[in-house]
Amino acid sequence: MQARSEAAQGAAAGEHVVIVGAGFGGLACAKELGRSGVRVTVIDRHNYHLFVPLLYQVATAALSPADIAEPVRQMLRRYKSVDVILGEVTGIDTGRRVLTLSHGQDIAYDRLVVATGSLYNYFGRDHWARYAPGVKGIEDARDIRARLLLAFEKAEMSPDEETQRALMTTVIIGGGPTGVEMAGAVAELARHALARDFRRIDPRSANILLVEAGPTILSGFPVTLQRYAMEALERLGVEVLTGAMVEDIRPEGAVIGGRFVPAGTLVWAAGVKASPAGGWLGVEAGPGGRIRVDPDLSVPERDNVYAIGDGALSVGEDGAPLPALAQVAKQQGSHLGRAMAANILRGEAMTAFRFRNRGNTAIIGRHAAVFDFGEWKLKGRVAWLLWAFVHVFLLVGFENRVLVSAQWLWRYLTYQRSARLISWMPAPGASARGDRPG
């Protein structure tokens, strides 16, 4: 038994697995490999793991960034065979099996896992990002929060009613779960948290527009849940525009269906595309720039290279591409880590990944949420309570769970939001990542 254990440890030490990206998929894979003693290096350009599903709450002043982030080293410190490097990958030589980082360092690997996630897709209008940032990172969320709160401050200072109306108009582009959640959160911020804080304006009169180019919001949900979400948003005072195309975005507003809508804040939630990792690997990308993978999550024609998460084009049992969701990435990471450890340590064949749907959800506002489990569906207060339980459970650290639970309870009882800080002043037309102090 001891000899077999030592042999396994030796095999594990001999194989070096490099994981690019410390999101849900990358971390799940690293933990499974770390439990088996396989030598792993995790590379990410941030030193923290971000719980992206709650990022919109940072953007709407409900939570602080530290509430939904955890240091990567802290999360992986119990796995002695796992190392962490803070760096940004700029290229991959699959022939030599070497990655190059932005500061010039080369990292050799025996097996490579690409888990670099996704970016917002502006469909060829990338300059729109300067005026309508998406919610993909802490910087984006802080940027939106600053723009949103600053718009109300400017409205308070303006003597002109038309200017006030424009500044208190928020346009959210995209009717998927992120857009719906953002619209509900902005409405609650204006109608409740800010309602009594100003003297010259009434934040309750703020206009929140949710714009969707398709015929309905939450297109991936059943019709009954779509209708409920629409009604819940309308009760919050959100104006939902379906079948409406955004034709142009400017610093002072957006052109929607041929009509210019002045707005103080614009938010993009209309779609995602994969990170540029496919270009690093020299493979032809699939729809949305995602890397095509075989059933075992390996990249065709690239030896010992695997892709998981939002950037991987993996298909389900029905032949349709799996959605870019956290639960997909996490399941892929856990499966790949276990399969790879078994292959390295015991020579077992790599097995195919099978996705198990744990349900799709979106919260609309206070006591309003939808949950789709396929065969059965939930909406209203029960779905809202389940949404809160699931998201608190999935938060990575115990401290984070306690803090978020306490803040949600306080917000529920008082309607107040504790993270209403304008920590920097965005320059006119500034991008989400530029013109900001370090």
Residue 299, Ramachandran bin (φ over 0: left; ψ between -120 and 50: alpha; else beta): beta
- Nearest residue to 99 (alpha-carbon basis) of 7, 90, 210, 272: 90
As a whole number of angstroms, the distance between CA 272 and CA 326 comes to: 14
**What DSSP state is assigned to residue 176?**
S
φ/ψ of residue 99, rounded to 5: -105, 145
- Rounded to 5 degrees, what angle do the CA atoms 338, 341, 343 make? 110
In the set 15, 181, 188, 212, the catalytic residue is 181
Beta partners for residue 370, in sequence order: 362, 379
Which ranges constitute the DSSP H helices of 204-352?
223-235, 277-281, 326-346
Burial category of 279 from C-beta neighbours within 10 Å (exposed 0-12, middle 13-18, buried 19 and up): middle
φ/ψ of residue 291, rounded to 5: -85, 125
How remote is the C-alpha of 230 from its chain's centroid? 23
Q: Tell me, yes or no, if 139 is annotated catalytic.
A: no
Please give the single-letter amino acid code of residue 388: A
Strands (E) across 232-354 are located at 238-242, 246-250, 253-256, 259-262, 265-268, 272-274, 291-292, 305-307, 312-313
Which ranges constitute the DSSP H helices of 168-299?
177-188, 223-235, 277-281
What is the bridge-based pairing of β-strands 253-256 and 246-250?
antiparallel
- Nearest residue to 278 (alpha-carbon basis) of 267, 270, 269, 289: 289
As a whole number of angstroms, the distance between CA 137 and CA 116 comes to: 13
The count of other CB atoms within 10 Å of the CB of residue 200 is 10
As a whole number of angstroms, the distance between CA 299 and CA 50 comes to: 26
Please give the single-letter amino acid code of residue 42: V
Residue 367 is encoded by which pair of tokens?
């006591």
| Residue 96 vs residues 44, 100, 287: alpha-carbon distances, Å | 21, 11, 28
Residue 28 is encoded by which pair of tokens?
């799940």
As a whole number of angstroms, the distance between CA 405 and CA 397 comes to: 12
Beta partners for residue 259, in sequence order: 256
Annotated catalytic residues are: 181
